[in-house]
Amino acid sequence: MPDTAFETSATSLEDRFATAFGNDVGVESPLAASGMGVRLSGIDLTKPLTPAQVELLLDTLSQCRLLSLAGQDLDRFSLATFERFANYWGAPVAHPSNFLRGGKPAQQDGATDGAIEFRPYADRKVAAADSTLPGQVACMPHESPAVLVATNLLGDGDRDKSRLKDGGSWHTDIEYEPLPIYVSMFLVHHVPVARDASNGHWVERPVVSGPEPYFPGSDDELMALRKDLPLDGETSYADTAAAFAALPPDEQARLETIQVRRRLNEGDEGFLAPLVRTDPRSGVKSLHSPVWASRPGVRPPIEVEGMSSEASREFLDRLEKHVLQPQFRYDHLHRPGDVTIWNNYMSLHTSPPIKTGIDRAEDARLLYRLSCKGEPALTLPRQDDPSWIAANIPGEYSSPSEIVEV
Ligand SMILES: [Fe+2]
């Protein structure tokens, strides 16, 4: 059975980081009982990285699934610096909430045709966040279509429906395209510090009245696992590498032969994708998005090749129930100045219950997300082939030189 604990001992990991980044680097690992997560302190991302530093970060993520580079100085760090850093991991992907498609919002019921038109920041819904707590909380300046703002500074009507008040659904980022997202990362600007709910947390435990945001029909045990979400604004992760490693060898072997059909829109032919992925760097195997309907009502449920849709659901619900067990879970508490990266092939995640309609800075949650596709790059600028960009990145976006050279 493959070992998903970081093979290198914590001491030698510290040595490797000291050699690459200097003696002031702190290494905390793992962050979760499953072996997931490393927190690094003392690494200043306003400076460009050397190829050896990039290589070490890539190696670490390929083993540990999640990496948090804590304590960036937000007086000096910018979203341009953040996006430059993202370029080492892959090509940053323009987010649908930041462009129109055929003149309509792109993040809407699978409308996927039409010319792409990037929206300036002032025209995006999220610009309204700056007037919720004026003089106290505002977005860091940016125009990049790759920056997704995740915040509770907007009213329910202005938030996209994937980020529900009572928590989102378990998913990986953009698994429904033939080349899925490899890493996503948050830069944390504001986190809720209020803990004055009656349970001592930021929010009360949501009252579960129905299956939403999930489809009805999954068993009670799975529904309870799905909805067991943290109450202090943490992002919840499930470690699909540790969950795979914990299965008996014959079941692992069977899962490795399975292909699932993913579709962008109902009625598409879709494409086949392996359920188990092997990390090209570490060789660690993991389940990639083993969820029947990770975006209920937005993207079609997936099907296991050779199974009926009912059998597919039964099979995938069972797998999801395995992955969401507490021993594979990790609730990541965000802190301002954290840059937190996760490998989408090796994890599921979901957003927590979030307080809305806020009127004080202690309740503000403001994070910026970037997602990357394709191969990492040890040096910048990236040398992506324009035809690869055209085929894989919406709007053929690539970070402009003023970002890469910031
Ligand atoms: Fe996500």
Structure confidence by residue, pLDDT tens digits, 186-223: 999 999 999 999 999 999 999 988 999 999 999 999 99
Which CATH number covers residue 240? Answer: 3.60.130.10
Give the distance (Å) from ligand 1 centre to CA of residue 9: 31
Give the distance (Å) from ligand 1 centre to CA of residue 354: 15
CA 209 distance to own-chain centroid: 27
Any domain includes 10: no
Q: What pLDDT, in 10s, does the model give residues 343-378?
A: 999 999 999 999 988 999 999 999 999 999 999 999
Any domain includes 9: no
Q: How confident is the model at residue 11 (pLDDT cuts 50, 70, 90)?
A: low
Give the distance (Å) from ligand 1 centre to CA of residue 169: 9
pLDDT, position 159: 59
Task: Calculate ∠ Cα 185-36-344, nearest 5°.
Answer: 40
Give the distance (Å) from ligand 1 centre to CA of residue 304: 23
Q: To which H or E segment does residue 366 belong?
A: strand 366-373
Mean pLDDT of the chain: 93
Give the distance (Å) from ligand 1 centre to CA of residue 240: 15
Q: Is the pLDDT of residue 143 over 90?
A: yes
Percent of the chain with pLDDT over 70: 94
CA 326 distance to own-chain centroid: 19
DSSP 218: S
C-alpha dihedral over 366, 229, 372, 289, to 10 degrees? Answer: -160
Give the distance (Å) from ligand 1 centre to CA of residue 227: 16
Question: Would you call 75 helix, strand, or coil by DSSP?
Answer: coil
Any domain includes 5: no
Give the distance (Å) from ligand 1 centre to CA of residue 137: 23
pLDDT, position 381: 97
Strand order across the beta sheet in which 303-304 lies: 271-274, 259-262, 303-304
pLDDT, position 208: 87
Q: Is the pLDDT of residue 319 over 50?
A: yes
Tell me the residue range of the domain where 152 lies: 16-404
Give the distance (Å) from ligand 1 centre to CA of residue 12: 32
Q: Is the pLDDT of residue 315 over 90?
A: yes
Give the distance (Å) from ligand 1 centre to CA of residue 171: 6
Any domain includes 2: no
**Preceding omega of 381 cis (within 30 degrees of 0):** yes
DSSP 171: B
How many other β-carbons are positioned within 10 Å of the β-carbon of residue 177? 15
- Total number of domains in the chain: 1
Any domain includes 101: yes
pLDDT, position 325: 98
Locate the DSSP E strands across 106-192. 116-118, 148-151, 183-190
Give the distance (Å) from ligand 1 centre to CA of residue 371: 9
Give the distance (Å) from ligand 1 centre to CA of residue 168: 9
Question: Cβ neighbours of residue 6 under 8 Å, at least 6 residues apart?
Answer: 13, 29, 30, 35, 38, 60, 63, 64
Average pLDDT over residues 303-319: 97
When mean pLDDT is compared across 20-34, 161-175, 238-252, the lowest value belongs to 161-175
Q: What pLDDT, in 10s, does the model give residues 72-83?
A: 999 999 999 999
Give the distance (Å) from ligand 1 centre to CA of residue 14: 30
Give the distance (Å) from ligand 1 centre to CA of residue 50: 29
Residues 216-230: b if buried by 16+ CB within 10 A, e if exposed: eebeeebbebbbebb
pLDDT, position 3: 47
Give the distance (Å) from ligand 1 centre to CA of residue 173: 5
Any domain includes 54: yes
**Quick one: which of 241, 318, 252 has its CA closest to 285?**
241
Reduced DSSP (H G I as helix, E B as strand, rest coil) percent helix, strand, coil of the chain, to 5: 25, 20, 55
Give the distance (Å) from ligand 1 centre to CA of residue 233: 14
Q: What pLDDT, in 10s, does the model give residues 249-260?
A: 999 999 999 999
Give the distance (Å) from ligand 1 centre to CA of residue 163: 9
Any domain includes 1: no
Give the distance (Å) from ligand 1 centre to CA of residue 7: 28
Q: Is the pLDDT of residue 397 over 90?
A: yes
